[in-house]
Amino acid sequence: MTDQQAQSVVPTTSPAGSPATKEMNGKVVRAKKKKAVRQVPRANAYIQATYNNTIITIADPNGNTLGWSSAGSTGFKGPKKATPYAASVVIKDLLTKIAEYGVKEVSVFVKGIGGGRESAIRAFHTNGLNVLSITDTTPIPHNGCRPPKKRRV
C-alpha cells in the first residue's frame, strides 16, 4: 500500500470521541446515522387492478406510503401484467420491501375490475398477513357524461 493510498481514508473523531467525520480524498465527509425504522403493526393496502396492470401500495394508518409495487416493475410485460399470478408475485415483492416495518395486519381497499383483484387478497393471507377488512372502492358513475349520439348509416 502506497503512502498516498494510506492517506486517502483517514477517520477522524469529533471532540466527544465518536467518529463523526471522515476524510476521503482530501474532503471531509460526515458519517451518516442509521435511521431508526418505525414499527407499523397495522397498515392499509390499496390494490388498483386495471385491465392492463395491478398496482399495490401499502400505507400506514395516517396515509404515509411504506412501499409499493406493480406487475410492470416486477418484470411482467404486455397482457401478462393483469394476470392473477402477476398479482401474487407483486405481493411477494412488496412484502420483502416492507419487511423492516413489521406489518402484521392489513385493511385492503380494492379499486378496479382487473384480473388481479381476488388473487392479490389471497396472496396477502398466504404470505402471513392477517386481512382485517376488504373494502371495494371502485368508482361507479351516477349518470355522469352524456353518451355519444347514435350513428346514422
User: pLDDT class for 149, splitting at 50, 70, 90?
Assistant: very high
Q: What's the CATH fold of domain 42-136?
A: Nucleotidyltransferase; domain 5 (3.30.420)
Where do we find the cell 414499527? Answer: 39
Residue 74, judged by CB atoms within 10 A of its CB (0-12, 13-18, 19+), counts as: middle
* Alpha-carbon span 91 to 123, nearest angstrom: 6
Poorest-pLDDT segment among 36-40, 49-53, 64-68, 94-98: 36-40
Give pLDDT, residue 84.
Answer: 94
User: pLDDT class for 11, splitting at 50, 70, 90?
Assistant: low
pLDDT above 60 (res 15) = no
* Alpha-carbon span 63 to 103, nearest angstrom: 14
- Closest-CA residue to 130 (of 111, 102, 149): 102
Q: What percent of the chain has pLDDT over 90?
A: 64
Give pLDDT, residue 144.
Answer: 87
pLDDT digits (tens, 9 = 90+) for 32-49: 777 777 889 999 999 999
Beta bridge partners of 96: none
pLDDT above 70 (res 4) = no
pLDDT digits (tens, 9 = 90+) for 109-148: 999 998 889 999 999 999 999 999 999 999 998 988 888 9
44 contact partners, CB below 8 Å, separation of at least 6: 58, 59, 60, 61, 63, 106, 107, 108, 109
Q: In the predicted model, what is the mean pLDDT of residues 101-114?
A: 94
Q: What residue type is 110 in one-letter code? A: V
How far the first Cα of the chain sits from its last, in Å, is: 86
Confidence (pTM):
0.72
- What residue spans define the domains of the chain? 1-33, 42-136
Task: Decide which of 3 and 50 is more confident.
Answer: 50
34 phi and psi angles, rounded to 5 deg: -80, 125
Task: Decide which of 71 and 7 is more confident.
Answer: 71
